[in-house]
Amino acid sequence: MATTYTVRPNQSMCDVIIQATGSLETGMQFCRDNNVSITAVPDAGSVYKVSDAALALQDSGILQQFSQNGIIIGTLDATITPPPASHVYNRVLTIDHTQCGSSDSSGFPVLVSITDTTLKTTANGGHVCRSDGADILFFTDAGGLTRLNWEIEFYDGAAETLVAWVLLPIVSCTADTSFYMQYGDPGISVFSGGSAGSVWNSNYIVVYHLGSALTTDATIHGQDLSNINSVTQASGKIGGGAGFSSTLSQSLICNMVSGLPEGSGERSMTCWFQMAADQQQEFLGYGDDRGRGFYSRFAFFYAGSNDLCVEVSGASSNFSWTYDTNWHKITAVLPSAATNLNQVVIYFDGLLQTVTSDSATLLTSNWQLALGQVPTYSTDLFFSGSLDEVRIMDKGISADWEITEYNNQNNPGNIGAGGFITYGGEY
């Protein structure tokens, strides 16, 4: 059985008015259904049907998520090919726009970090079929028609934990952004979230998650790190991180990194850090590795006395910070057309900082990228603590992008009320 709706004349594709002859409210929109998107304007008089099963959902959580936008879940007539039965479990993930600044962020890699019993593998009593999580898929739409690109950083089917990065076309600052996760298809045997590095566009020169793949670059560039003096896996801000001991002179390095902004090229550099000692220490930077007298570098440095710096060419841009052992996010941006250290913008925990800055023309080279130290500037100021999510781009990011990224990553397991992402119920 089904309830019939007739399209009125002169309506656009996304304003198709349905004349209700059944129990649903007259005047609700019908822009899509469970199976397909309506890709052309329906002719006046065209008849569509909504199944009794869909009618029964009108008071359920599933339909309410759509009816908030005035959209009916239904089924077109029987000539439409039904969706594949393979994706047996679905969830809607919704980003809170109030945590996304005052401008939209396009091409945004959003963190999805979830611990939930349903994400165990079937062997452990959950609903995910593959031990590598290959049957966990992400889409822009509830029907599973438009697949997104994503990367699974970590999945543990026994510990019910997923850490993934999903590339969204846009994250809106004015309306909540929803996307969809589907899982439970025993027929999926290979990862289908896009080619390696596809989550990170060409502006990302390196992305180091520093998780189980401690030295691996997640971008298409594949500029992996060398492990000096046995840097260890540590608890990270997001999944795993890298743990450094200053007494062991530990670091992760990559020489001659292709694409790193040289001279005074536009750039953004960011990481999460957790210090383990209140002492002078260098924790991330790139540039000339020939030692003292060659200062063409761009780096993060803790000068002690609650003083954090971005250091270049022997000069620094400083802001005050009271030392603690918590996780913090620091980002330095050299905007387009800027050439001087005093034009570098620094964000700390998502917020723009007031800085005291020297004047120095940037002359950065790409000779060496170093984590746990600055490229051979000093031999006694190695980092003590942990790093996570190190990224360098050849593009400046906005304050709205930075606060969106910080809010997304700051409490990665906080899925639900008050969190950056609301994780809908399984259906």
Instruction: Write down the residue that tokens 């930075």 correspond to.
Output: 402
pLDDT for res 64: 33
Q: How confident is the model at residue 377 (pLDDT cuts 50, 70, 90)?
A: low
What is residue 312's predicted lDDT score, i.e. its pLDDT? Answer: 83
The domain spans of the chain are 2-67, 89-199+412-423, 204-394
pLDDT average, residue stretch 226-253: 94
State the residue for tokens 């002078």.
280
According to CATH, the topology of domain 204-394 is Jelly Rolls (2.60.120)
Name the least confident of 3-7, 157-161, 363-367.
Answer: 3-7
Task: Find residue 383's DSSP bridge partners.
Answer: none
Where residue 357 falls among pLDDT bands split at 50, 70, 90? very high
CA distance 19 to 373: 68
More confident residue, 67 or 104: 104
pLDDT tens readout for residues 178-217:
999 999 999 898 999 999 999 999 999 999 999 989 999 9
Considering only residues 57 and 245, tell me which one the structure prediction assigns the higher pLDDT.
245
pLDDT tier for residue 68 given thresholds of 50, 70 and 90 = very low
What is the reported pLDDT for 39? 40
CB-based contact 384:276 (threshold 8 Å): yes
Q: How far apart are CA 149 and CA 139, in angstroms?
A: 9
Average pLDDT, the chain: 81
Predicted confidence band of residue 84 (pLDDT cuts 50, 70, 90): very low
pLDDT above 70 for 33: no
Are the beta carbons of 390 and 206 closer than 8 angstroms? yes
CB 28 within 8 A of CB 58: no
pLDDT of residue 293: 52
Percent residues over pLDDT 70 in the chain: 75
Give the per-residue pLDDT at 418.
Answer: 61
In the prediction, which pLDDT does 189 show?
A: 87
User: pTM of the predicted model, to two decimals?
Assistant: 0.79
pLDDT of the residue at 341? 93
- Cα(285)–Cα(267) distance, rounded to whole angstroms? 13
- Where does the pLDDT of residue 82 fall: very low under 50, low under 70, confident under 90, or very high at 90 and above? very low
Q: Is 63 a residue whose pLDDT tops 60? A: no
- State the pLDDT at residue 143: 82
What average pLDDT score do residues 228-244 get?
Answer: 94
- When pLDDT is cut at 50, 70 and 90, the band that residue 91 belongs to is very high
Over range 250-260, report the average pLDDT: 94
